Amino acid sequence: MSRIYSVKDNSGENRLFLNRVVAAFIAITLLTSGLIVRLVYLQIVGHEHYSSLAKDNSIKIVPLVPTRGIIYDRHGKILAENLPSYSLELTPEKVPDLDGTLSRLQKLLDIPDEKIELYQKLRKRQKWFTSTPLLLNMNNEELAKFAVAMPFFPGVDIQTRLIRHYPYSDLASHVIGYVGRINEAELKDLPIAEYRGSTHIGKLGIEGSYETQLHGKTGYAEIETNVQARLLNTINEKVPDPGANLYLTLDIDLQKTAYDALGTFNGAVVAIEIKTGGVLVFASRPGFDPNPFVVGIANDVFQALQLSENQPLYNRALRGLYPPGSTIKPFIALAGLEYDAISPEHNILCPGYYQIPGVSHQYRDWKKGGHGSVNLNKAITESCDVYFYRLASTLGIDHIHSFLQKLGFGEKTGIDLIGEKAGLLPSREWKRSRKNQAWYPGETLITGIGQGYLQISPLQLARATATLANRGSVVTPFLVNKIATARNTLPGPEIHQQTIPLKPANVNTVIEAMINVVHSPRGTAKGINTNISYQIAGKTGTAQVLGIKQNAKYNENEIDFKFRDHALFIAFAPADDPKIAVAVVVENGGHGGSVAAPIAGQVIKQYLQDNDEHRNP
C-alpha cells in the first residue's frame, strides 16, 4: 500500500470506514429488529393460534397419491395392473411394549427372524409417528389370524395398499418393465411436490418410458387430526388425477407364441405391423419375473439374475447387438440395384470362394464347391456368399454405408422405450476415428455378408425389413397406441413420415428372391412353406460367433454351445400385401433356416389367422 501512498488520504479513509461500520451496525440492528418483531408476532401474538394447530387438533396436509395407469395390450388384455395388498404395520411410538409386541406377533403369525430385524432397521430410519410395515403382501390366513387378535395389539394396523402386478410375469418383462421403490438418485431429479407420497417409480420399459403419464397428478387433503393422529375432519381436498391408461400395440398372445417358440434358446423376436409401425411382438428370452421387483427383490435373487450367464435382465430385442449375417443380403442386393452396380439377370460363377485380385486369401462360401452359375435371385434364394462378396466389392463401403444408413442401421429407431442401442454401421470415417486405421477392401467383403464390424439390434432388423416390405416408406416402430386419461384420449408418440426413394422394379426383384427363399425348393427356409395360404418373403442368416481359421472346418457338434453360430431370420407376409414384418435372432441356434425361420413362421401364421377372424367373424 506504500506504492501509491501519496494519493491515498489515510485519515479520510479511516473516518469513512468507521462511518460505514457504524452504518452497517445500525442496519444490522434494524434488520434484526425486523426478525424479532416477526418472531414476537409468531410466538406471542400467534402462539395460541399456532398451538392449537400444532397440538390437540393439528392440521396436516397429506398427499393423495394417484392410482397408477393400467397397461393393456392391443386387444385389451391387462399387462400391468394394481392389486390391493395387505400389510401389517406398526407405529413404534403408539405401541406400549415394542419388543414384547414383536415377539407375540412373531409367535402368532410365524414371522421369520430376518423380517423382525429388517423391521428394526427400517423403523430407525423412519420419522416419529410413522407406521412402518412389518409384513408385506399378507395372505388370507395371516389376515384372519391377526384380525381376531387385533384388540390385543394397540399400535398395530393392517394397511391396504395397491401394489403393481404383472400377470404375464416373464413373458413381456423387458418391454413392460416394472416399478420399484424410488431410490435416492431418482429422488434428486423428481419433481418433489408430485412425488410426495409416492413410493414407487417406473424403472424400465414402458413403465419407465411413460412414467409421467402413468403416474398421474398428486392431489392433497388438509385434514384435522387428534393426538392419536386419527382423522377428525377433512377440511379441504384436491383429488388426484389418476395416471393414464396405456394401450399398447403389443399383442400378448402373439408375444407368447414367439416367446414359447424360442424354447430353451436365448434370443429375441420383434414383429412390426407394417402399415402403422406398431410393434406386435417384442420378445426377449430369457425373461424374468418383474413382480418381486415391486415389493423389493431379495438381494440374493437379484444377484443370481444379474450374474446368470443367460442374462435374463438384458433386453435383447432393444439392446442386443448381433452381426446380421446373411439377413443383410436383400438390403445389399437392393443397394446394388439402386446404384446400378448389378443387373438382376447377370450371372457370375461361384466356385465356392472369392479372392480379391492379387491377394491369396480365399473368402469362402458357406457351400463347399460353390453354387455354380448364380444370378441375383439365386444368390438370395440360396444365400450365395461369393455373389455378395463380389457385389460388395463393386459397391464399395461408402455406398453400402450410405444405403444401409437410410434403412436405419447404425441409428436408434426412435421407438418409445428408454435404453435403445444404436448398433454399429461401419464406415471409413468410423474406422479412422475409432481405430485410427484405414479401411481394408477385405472388410468391405465381409460387411457384404453381414459379418465384420456390422452390429444390429433385432429391432433395427425388423424395422429395415418392414421398410423394405413397405417399399421404402420408412416404418418407425412404436409401442404405445393410446394414452387414455379420465378426460381425454391421446395418440401415442408422434411419427415423422419419411420415404426412401426406391425404384419399384428393384424392390420387386428383391422381394421375388425373398419369396423364393421360402417357397422355392432350393430356398434356405423352405421348411416353413407348408400349410399356408399366403406367401412369405424371407431371408435366413447365420452369424458367426467364432472366427474360423483358413482351411479349418466348422463342425457344429464339436463346438461348445456358447460358440455356436447365431441363427437369424427376417420375413414379411403376405408378400403381395405386406402386413407384418418379423425379425428373429436365436443365439447359438445354428442355422437360420432350421431354427429361426419356424419361429417367424408361427408368428406370421397366428397373426394373419387372427386378423382374418377379426375381419370376418
Residues acting as catalytic residues: 326
Q: Does 39 sit near other proteins (CB under 8 A)?
A: yes
Least Cα distance to 591 among 513, 521, 526 occurs for: 526
Cβ of residue 315: shortest distance to other proteins, in angstroms?
22
Q: Which of 189, 309, 345, 613 binds other proteins (CB under 8 A)?
A: 189
Q: Would you say 60 or 435 has its CB closer to other proteins?
A: 60
Q: Which of 26, 56, 57, 60 binds other proteins (CB under 8 A)?
A: 60
Q: Would you say 1 or 147 has its CB closer to other proteins?
A: 1
Q: Does 47 sit near other proteins (CB under 8 A)?
A: yes
Q: Does 44 sit near other proteins (CB under 8 A)?
A: yes
Q: Would you say 22 or 349 has its CB closer to other proteins?
A: 22
Q: Which of 147, 148, 192, 438 binds other proteins (CB under 8 A)?
A: 192
Please list every residue from 206 through 245 that binds other proteins, using CB under 8 A.
218, 220, 222
Integer CA distances (angstroms), 538 to 186, 276, 404, 411, 598, in order: 44, 20, 18, 23, 11
Q: Burial code of 143-158, b = ≥16 C-beta within 10 A, e = fewer?
A: eeebeeeeeebebbee
Q: Would you say 129 or 152 has its CB closer to other proteins?
A: 129
Least Cα distance to 282 among 200, 168, 407 occurs for: 168
Q: Does 434 sit near other proteins (CB under 8 A)?
A: no
Q: Does 40 sit near other proteins (CB under 8 A)?
A: yes
> What is the rounded distance in angstroms from the CA atom of residue 302 to the CA atom of residue 165?
18
Please list every residue from 115 through 144 that binds other proteins, using CB under 8 A.
124, 127-130
Q: Does 63 sit near other proteins (CB under 8 A)?
A: yes
Q: At what angle do helices 504-519 and 329-338 cross, to 10 degrees?
A: 150
Q: Would you say 43 or 405 has its CB closer to other proteins?
A: 43
Q: Does 21 sit near other proteins (CB under 8 A)?
A: yes
Q: Does 53 sit near other proteins (CB under 8 A)?
A: yes
Strand (E) positions, 139-266? Answer: 156-165, 179-181, 200-202, 219-225, 231-238, 245-248
Angle at 480 between CA 477 and CA 481, to 5 degrees: 95
DSSP track, 327-342: GGHHHHHHHHHHTTS-
Region from 132-140, 148-156, 192-200, 445-453 binding other proteins, contact rule CB under 8 A: 192-200
Q: Which of 75, 143, 174, 193 binds other proteins (CB under 8 A)?
A: 193
Angle at 406 between CA 467 and CA 547, to 5 degrees: 95
Binding-site residue total for other proteins (CB under 8 A)?
51
DSSP track, 245-289: EEEES--HHHHHHHHHHHTTS-EEEEEEETTT-BEEEEEEES---
| Cβ-Cβ contacts under 8 Å for 462 (sequence gap 6 or more) | 270, 271, 272, 477, 570, 581, 582, 583
Q: Would you say 40 or 83 has its CB closer to other proteins?
A: 40
Cβ of residue 48: shortest distance to other proteins, in angstroms?
9
Binding site for other proteins (CB under 8 A): 1, 3-4, 7-9, 13, 16-18, 20-21, 24-25, 28-29, 31-32, 34-36, 38-40, 42-44, 46-47, 49-51, 53-55, 58, 60-61, 63, 124, 127-130, 189, 192-193, 196, 218, 220, 222
